[in-house]
């Protein structure tokens, strides 16, 4: 969360900074700001100019339009507040008392309280509630000392000062720093928060994520932990934390054509829902081509020798990714016979289960940057590596939409779900891609362990191959139906989602989507739990959405739905059409498919239902309040 963008070159940068932030706004949008150095006399004494604004980027960009800010170097930030309210004062960039140093930060400085006490002793008064403001003050103090010791006010002095300050910071963060006396220098550093460098023609960039570089350069290099870089109009110098110069070849951005274009859709979320048939088709073409034999049904880049050792699986993820993991957990246990547990990554880290032998740990994250998931994976690696017992080795796998993320760099085996960039904060097509990857793993394990016959493997594979067309039909049908129904729920305060078995995670996902974007309180329950408490909530004002899919628990879910209807709840079914479905007040029909693949379809009406309610309420669907696309703080 929070987006950093910075540029140095030979042209005016303020509009580039705003454009860069626009492409990163999905990372946080409660306030924004830029700082540039106006090199007035073309000497080494520029003037630092800062503009900040509360709220969406549009507020900042209209300020800059009214009062353009000069400079060939600048840093910019879009914020998702962690320390201090989202207001103009707490917005980044933050300055030192002399107004010479400006800093933007993404992450959390854990020891900022202790460091602010040190600053207080030196008579420095902090003016914001943030954990970031200490950084420019600390840099200012270091520079003061360096200059007193005879160093010149140049970029190497700035680099050295930032290096010294980094050594005392604790936490996970990425920063960018400028100094008014070095208008030809920009210093950036990373400690477990994402940061990439971009190489343009005569200009260089730094950003929290690659989309910010689109249209400026295709050549980029992700910074590694503990690295610091000095950017000048002539190039980039990269150093490790011991000050050793680093040389690595940059990479080329791929798939830029997929970048943020709403086409004719009103919101990215709707566009991304509509892209799901394509997501599924691309996934199938890549991983499930028809020519693969039943003893090796999926073209995943994971060595068979690793999978053969696995006796159990643990899945670590947050939010929607955890729901995909839960669908995966059901499939892996029930179809492939592999004992599987799914954890909240944020809980796992502090309450891990006792170590189990021959365990595959799967991390799931569309962004590949979620701090809780990364921390849980790192912790698991550390404790397994420290046993030195081969039975407890850290076998691991990441499922992500961003192979150029920390997931991609830190994990040896990664399944790229290849859904294309997702801009809407509410995950939709990446959820589908994550679920599909679990179907792939399930097929692989089921065939490897001979848990299922070749015919069963073939049946599931063929059912998956039908999904793109079925998705496309469903989206067309339910887009207009949910649009028509939306007005009925505008005043609704609570909604209960019921599902069982493989569709229980979809009930959770439906409730999460509705909460996130429409701000309606919603709870997902295993349908059988209704009578154990939540039924007390039901009356004509609390609609119940019921996922009733023919299969093991069909009759049970129908009875649970009847119980809700008997309490006057408005009943919305996601089910096949038939005599049983007459009990529903509203019905999102789905085709008759095998229960195994049903979650890939049942989630679609729920996404559209949430979308249309939020859009009807006039809410900011793509950037809901208090949320961010990428949660890089724990
Ligand atoms: O990037 P990740 O998949 O790791 O993100 C995990 C959650 O923060 C994310 O799924 C969140 O719940 C979404 N906003 C869901 O729509």
**Residue pLDDT, tens place only, 577-597:** 998 889 999 999 999 999 999
Instruction: For 557-606, give the DSSP string.
Output: HHHHHHHHHTTT--EEEEE--SGGGGG-SEEEE-----GGGTHHHHHHHH
Q: What is the pLDDT of residue 304?
A: 82
Question: How large a percentage of the chain has pLDDT more than 70?
Answer: 98
> Bridge-partner residues for 230, per DSSP?
187, 237
Atom of ligand 1 nearest to the CA of 319: 12
Q: What is the mean pLDDT of residues 2-18?
A: 95
- Ligand 1 atom with the shortest distance to the CA of 370: 4
Other C-beta atoms closer than 10 Å to the C-beta of 242 total 7
> pLDDT tens, 217-267?
999 999 999 999 999 999 999 999 999 999 999 998 876 444 567 778 999
User: Residue 337 class from Cβ within 10 Å (0-12 exposed, 13-18 middle, 19+ buried)?
Assistant: middle
Distance 427 CA to ligand 1 centre (A): 7
CB 418 within 8 Å of CB 233: no
| Choice among 13-17, 35-39, 258-262 with the minimum mean pLDDT | 258-262
pLDDT at 257: 42
d(CA 399, CA 403): 9
Helices (H), ranges, 25-154: 57-66, 112-121, 134-148
Q: Which atom of ligand 1 is nearest to the CA of 426?
A: 16
What local confidence, expressed as pLDDT, does residue 258 receive?
Answer: 47
Residues 593-613: what's their mean pLDDT? 98
User: Which pLDDT score is estimated for 549?
Assistant: 95
What does the pLDDT look like over 409-442, one tens digit per residue?
889 899 999 998 898 999 999 999 999 999 999 9
Q: Give the per-residue pLDDT at 43.
A: 64
pLDDT for 228 equals 98
The DSSP letter of residue 90 is T
Least confident of 14-18, 44-48, 463-467: 44-48
CA 140 to chain centre: 34
Name the residue at shortest CA distance from atom 9 of ligand 1.
319
Whether residue 316 has pLDDT greater than 60: yes
- Taking CA atoms only, the protein residue closest to ligand 1 atom 4 is 365
Q: Where are the beta strands (DSSP E) in 550-604?
A: 571-575, 586-589
Distance CA 590, CA 112 (A): 53
Per-chain mean pLDDT for the chain:
93
Could you tell me the distance, in angstroms and rounded to a whole number, from the CA of residue 26 to the centre of ligand 1? Answer: 12
Q: Give yes or no for residue 444 having a pLDDT over 80.
A: yes
Mutate to test the pocket of ligand 1, among 26, 209, 317, 320 (most ligand atoms within 8 A of CB): 320
Name the more confident of 484 and 39.
484
Residue 82 pLDDT grade (very low, low, confident, very high; cuts 50, 70, 90)? confident
Cα of 364 vs centre of ligand 1, distance in Å, is 10
Query: How high is the pLDDT of residue 192?
Result: 85
Q: Give the residues across from 175 on adjacent strands.
A: 105, 189
pLDDT digits (tens, 9 = 90+) for 285-308: 999 998 888 788 899 878 888 888
Mean pLDDT of 333-360: 97
pLDDT of residue 370: 93
Q: How confident is the model at residue 464 (pLDDT cuts 50, 70, 90)?
A: very high
In the numeric block, which tokens belong to residue 316? 């670590």
Question: Ligand 1 centre and the CA of 268: distance in Å?
Answer: 16
**CA 105 to CA 28: how far, in whole Å?**
13
Chain segment 143-198, per-residue pLDDT in tens: 999 999 999 999 999 999 999 999 999 998 999 999 999 999 999 999 988 899 99
| pLDDT at res. 42 | 65
Structure tokens at 283: 């996934």
CB 545 within 8 A of CB 510: yes
**Tell me: the pLDDT tens digits for 490-522?**
899 999 999 999 999 999 999 999 999 999 999
Report the nearest-CA residue for atom 16 of ligand 1: 426
Residues 6+ apart with CB under 8 A from 126: 116, 119, 120, 133, 134, 137
Q: Would you say how long the chain is, in residues?
A: 634
pLDDT (0 to 100) of residue 28: 82
pTM: 0.84
Cα distance between residue 634 and residue 346, in whole Å = 8
Check whether 128 has a pLDDT greater than 70.
yes
* 276: phi then psi, degrees, rounded to nearest 5: -65, -40
Residues with CB under 6 A from ligand 1: 318-321, 365-367, 370, 373, 425-427, 516, 627, 630-631
* Closest Cα to atom 7 of ligand 1: 319
State the Cα–Cα distance between residues 443 and 331, nearest whole angstrom: 9
- Ligand 1, atom nearest to 629 Cα: 14
Q: What is the distance in A from the centroid of ligand 1 to the CA of 538?
A: 29
For residues 44 and 141, which has the higher predicted lDDT (pLDDT)? 141
- Rounded to the nearest angstrom, the gap between the alpha carbon of residue 304 and the centroid of all alpha carbons in its chain is 30
* Exposed/middle/buried for residue 171 (C-beta within 10 Å: 0-12, 13-18, 19+): middle
* Nearest atom of ligand 1 to the alpha carbon of 427: 16
What are the start-end ranges of the H helices in 415-527? 429-448, 454-486, 504-518
Condensed to tens digits (0 to 9), the pLDDT of residues 183-206 reads: 999 999 999 888 999 999 999 999
Q: Largest Cα–Cα distance of the chain, in whole Å?
A: 88
Q: Return the CA Rg of the chain.
A: 26
- Cα(115) to ligand 1 centroid in Å equals 32
Residue of 29, 209, 272, 318 with the most ligand 1 atoms within 8 Å of its CB, for mutation? 318
pLDDT at residue 180, rounded to an integer: 96
Residues with a known catalytic role: 2, 629
Q: What mean pLDDT comes out for the span 469-477?
A: 97
For the stretch 84-96, pLDDT in tens is: 888 999 999 999 9
Sheet-wide strand order for 204-207? 47-54, 31-38, 73-79, 3-8, 204-207, 196-199, 219-222, 251-252
């Amino acid at each position: 969360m929070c987006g950093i963008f910075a540029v140095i070159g030979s042209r005016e940068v303020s509009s580039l900074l705003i454009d860069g932030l626009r492409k990163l706004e999905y990372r946080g949008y409660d306030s924004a700001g830029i700082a540039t150095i106006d090199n007035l006399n073309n000497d080494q004494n520029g003037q630092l100019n800062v503009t900040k604004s509360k709220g969406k980027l549009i507020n900042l960009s209209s300020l800059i339009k009214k009062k353009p800010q000069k400079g060939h170097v600048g840093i910019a930030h879009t914020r998702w507040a962690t320390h201090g309210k989202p207001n103009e004062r707490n917005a980044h960039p933050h300055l030192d008392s002399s107004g010479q140093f400006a800093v933007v930060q993404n992450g959390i400085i854990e020891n900022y309280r202790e460091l602010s006490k040190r600053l207080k002793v030196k008579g420095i008064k902090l003016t914001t509630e943030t954990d970031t403001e200490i950084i420019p003050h600390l840099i200012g103090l270091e520079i003061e000392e360096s200059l007193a010791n005879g160093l010149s006010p140049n970029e190497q002095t700035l680099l050295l000062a930032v290096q010294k300050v980094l050594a005392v910071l604790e936490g996970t963060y990425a920063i960018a720093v400028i100094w008014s006396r070095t208008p030809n220098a920009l210093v950036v550093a990373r400690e477990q928060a994402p940061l990439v460098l971009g190489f343009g023609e005569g200009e260089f960039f730094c950003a929290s994520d690659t989309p910010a570089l689109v249209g400026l350069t295709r050549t980029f290099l992700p910074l590694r932990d503990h690295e610091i870089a000095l950017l000048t109009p002539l190039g980039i110098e990269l150093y490790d934390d011991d000050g050793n110069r680093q040389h690595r070849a940059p990479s080329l951005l791929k798939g830029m054509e997929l970048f943020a274009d709403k086409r004719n859709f009103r919101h990215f979320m709707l566009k991304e829902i509509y892209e799901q048939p394509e997501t599924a088709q691309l996934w199938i073409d890549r991983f499930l081509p028809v020519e693969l034999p039943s003893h090796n049904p999926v073209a995943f880049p994971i060595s068979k020798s690793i999978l053969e050792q696995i006796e159990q699986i643990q899945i670590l993820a947050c939010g929607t990714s955890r729901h995909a993991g839960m669908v995966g957990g059901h499939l892996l246990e029930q179809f492939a016979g592999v004992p599987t547990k799914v954890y909240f990554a944020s809980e796992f880290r502090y309450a891990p289960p006792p170590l189990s032998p021959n365990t595959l740990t799967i991390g799931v994250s569309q962004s590949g940057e979620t701090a809780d998931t990364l921390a849980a994976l790192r912790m698991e690696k550390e404790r397994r590596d420290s046993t030195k017992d081969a039975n407890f080795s850290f076998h691991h796998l990441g499922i992500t939409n961003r192979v150029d993320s920390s997931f991609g760099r830190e994990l040896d085996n990664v399944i790229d779900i290849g859904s294309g960039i997702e801009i809407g904060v509410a995950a939709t097509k990446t959820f589908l891609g994550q679920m599909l990857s679990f179907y792939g793993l399930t097929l692989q394990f089921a065939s490897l362990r001979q848990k299922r016959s070749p015919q069963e493997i073939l049946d599931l594979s063929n059912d998956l191959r039908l999904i793109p067309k079925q998705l496309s039909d469903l989206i067309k049908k339910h887009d207009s139906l949910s649009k028509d129904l939306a007005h009925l729920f505008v005043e609704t305060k609570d909604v209960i989602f019921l599902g069982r078995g493989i569709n229980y995670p979809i009930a959770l996902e439906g409730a999460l989507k509705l909460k996130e974007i429409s701000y309606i309180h919603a709870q997902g329950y295993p349908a059988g739990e209704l009578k154990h408490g939540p039924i007390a909530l039901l009356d004509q004002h609390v609609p119940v959405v019921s996922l009733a899919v023919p299969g093991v628990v069909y009759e049970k879910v129908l009875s649970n739905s009847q119980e809700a209807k008997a309490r006057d709840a408005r009943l919305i079914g996601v089910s096949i059409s038939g005599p049983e479905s007459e009990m529903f007040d509203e019905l999102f029909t789905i085709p008759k498919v095998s229960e195994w693949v049903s979650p890939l379809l049942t989630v679609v009406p729920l996404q559209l239902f949430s979308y249309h309610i939020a859009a009807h309420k006039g809410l900011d669907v793509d950037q809901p309040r208090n949320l961010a696309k990428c949660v890089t703080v724990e």
